[in-house]
Structure 1
């Protein structure tokens, strides 16, 4: 076993995911010379069954981290150690297989669900992509019904409906069923509650927490709403200009912020809440 493989195996003994020194730049539109740094050496870890919140202002790089972890974007450099395997050293095919237990919930339920597919087809799609139950259509259908029931959507009522027939809260529950159906170990939730009203936000978070406890799912919860992290996240990372500037429990971050950015961020939120 190589030194790198041994190091990855050691990390896997405690962490489900270990991110080290992640960097990402984007070319500035209209310029071949200048680039904008989005992530500047980000490091974080997520333990099995742990919910880690990633908070910060708009444009801080939160969603980029989530998309890189989920395999939807690539980084310029850094390490991604998932279940003891260094994803950055793998081919695209190897990485797809290694990260089959990572799923993602997107911010906008109106755009993340194809309007041409029924709810049954949408929830079954991850099974199709991973070729699960390929020769067992009834088993696949049973898995879809079970996933819908887990997110409190009646299969008989929703299977043959289309996304435009559902409310925003219902669509986001479909998104959760899609992410959950393959029994992932990690779900990247990118601002999943931002388009829901307050009561629906709390309902969705409670459902996500119940699924985590019942099935052993870890979450990377990307949000700009610190209030949502209390009672849901085990730990928070505060991101500013592509860097993690502070870590702690939700209570520590909100009640005793240490970094000037965190202090200003919380003050701004409190001022908005006072209007």
Structure 2
């Protein structure tokens, strides 16, 4: 039945066109943004997960930066400790030379004095970002190592610790006192039973026996410095491994988020072409449906 009041064909064609236009708008948005889930209205669950993971990834990026800063601090401390070990090795060699008969100990002491000043220079220079791990107060130094979200959703930042006071002399070349280097503490400043330390050592008037005692003091210092250097090396390796892990974890999160919200551009492109064709056909169908009512007029023409 043909009616001049109700055009069912036109209404059906219009409904189809509206549906196609809606799908076309969604597809065009996916193509332009690259996301199939761009807003919460697209898929609330996936959008929520993706937003949380992106936030965590930004935190991981900050952790990566902090790890780089921590690595620089550790590398600076290790370089200083390694250089100091070389200098103390030289002092040890001078002491061995001083045990020979006829050696002018005052001349040897002049050389040792220069080496002692070099130790101070190393300790003073081993600072990075305001922290000096080889000339500082006793305590524990921290490096940010990771960002963690547990099963309940609680977040925390984990730290890697480097303890400076694991022994009587600690793991520092010199201690600190009121912001200044304290030359009577630390590995190089702590005195032995005879009152001698690597930094205060003066063999000008030493006997052979006293030089042997000084050698023992220097050897103990070398052992402590080697231990401290080994710890710094271990922390450096751990930080490097953690940097690699954080980088891989960040990439994995990016990939996971992409699987949730990224659009398949090949699929969306094909869908876009199909919808554009359907839109054109729907417009033609609507036009035909609208023209059918005009045909009624021909029935009344003479």
Superposition TM-score, scaled by structure 1 size: 0.21
Superposition TM-score, scaled by structure 2 size: 0.20
Q: Which has the larger radius of gyration?
A: 2
Higher relative contact order (CA closer than 8 Å, sequence separation 6+):
2
If each structure's helix is expressed as a fraction of its own residues, which one has the higher value?
Answer: 2
If each structure's strand is expressed as a fraction of its own residues, which one has the higher value?
Answer: 1
